[in-house]
Amino acid sequence: MLRATPNIFPQNRARDETGAQTPTQLFAEPGHRCSIRTMESVILARGDADGFDIALRRRGTDVYELIVNGAFAMDSVDHASEDALADLLPDGSTLVGGLGLGFTANRLLARGNRVDVVELSRDLIDWARSGLIPWLDLDAARLTVHHGDITATLAAPPAALGRSTWDGIALDVDNGPTFLIHDRNAKLYTASGIEAAWLRLNPGGRLAVWCEADSPKLEATLASLPAVDVGTQRVSVARQGREFAYPIYWVDKPS
């Protein structure tokens, strides 16, 4: 899946009516050495219920994109890294920070896990519930999607969640600590934010954090926890002739 990597199309950018920078394709045309044409896309829904702008867009017939505050957040082309994030969690009860296009949640559900998702955007939840994201069923058994901020949830889980600790916690909000769409998310990746997540893990549980680029600071914060094991999985995604290796950091709590 393409993520909001700042320089993914350094020479080829265009803005659409959401104000987002969109991927473009280069076409050689008669009479022109080269011209840039934006891939055709339609806005399926757009809202600002939570005080920030969010849009769900479809590119061509089957590529879905999420645009947040004018930044291209993710698309559905290759969700290997979102799946890998799910695969890193143990079976059992799981908490996912950030619904996005729902790939991590779906993958966990497919393994028979109980999945709680905390999502910042009420609009996105409503669109998913109304069927705008074809592969996502918010009424699926074992899935509960809560509207809220994962940082606050980890600090003090609301009673509506029905539990306050999980066997696995996956954090995939914005694009990791190195590319924040919401400034407020910086707190999630601080020592106190990570400590809050650690305290929400059951014994033997695992915390995994998706990142768009290496973050030595986050790595050091995770390494400072009293973990039995800590590691990084890099997931390669090829796009537009370029290769991206997204790091997913994980840390295991003693049993």
Q: Which residues bind ligand SAM (CB under 6 A)?
A: 73-74, 82, 97-104, 118-121, 124, 149-151, 172-174, 182, 185
| H or E segment and range at residue 151 | helix 150-155
Q: How far is CA 193 from CA 153, 155, 199, in A?
A: 11, 8, 10
Residues 202-217 as b or e (16 or more Cβ within 10 Å = b):
beebbbbbbbbbbbee
| Tokens (6 digits) for 158 | 């609301």
Query: Minimum distance between the CB of residue 24 and ligand SAM, rounded to whole angstroms?
Result: 21
Query: Minimum distance between the CB of residue 121 and ligand SAM, rounded to whole angstroms?
Result: 4
Q: Which of 232, 230, 196, 195 is nearest to 214 (CA)?
A: 232
Q: Which residue has the tokens 């914005």?
A: 174
Beta-strand relationship, 54-59 and 63-68:
antiparallel
Our CB check for ligand SAM shows the closer of 28 and 114 to be 114
Our CB check for ligand SAM shows the closer of 53 and 219 to be 53
3 DSSP 8-state letter: B
Our CB check for ligand SAM shows the closer of 34 and 156 to be 156
Query: Minimum distance between the CB of residue 98 and ligand SAM, rounded to whole angstroms?
Result: 3
Our CB check for ligand SAM shows the closer of 25 and 236 to be 236
Query: Minimum distance between the CB of residue 103 and ligand SAM, rounded to whole angstroms?
Result: 3
* Beta carbons within 8 Å of 121's beta carbon, 6+ residues apart: 47, 49, 50, 52, 54, 68, 99
Our CB check for ligand SAM shows the closer of 188 and 225 to be 188
Q: Which residue is nearest to ligand SAM, using beta carbons? A: 100
Query: Minimum distance between the CB of residue 214 and ligand SAM, rounded to whole angstroms?
Result: 18
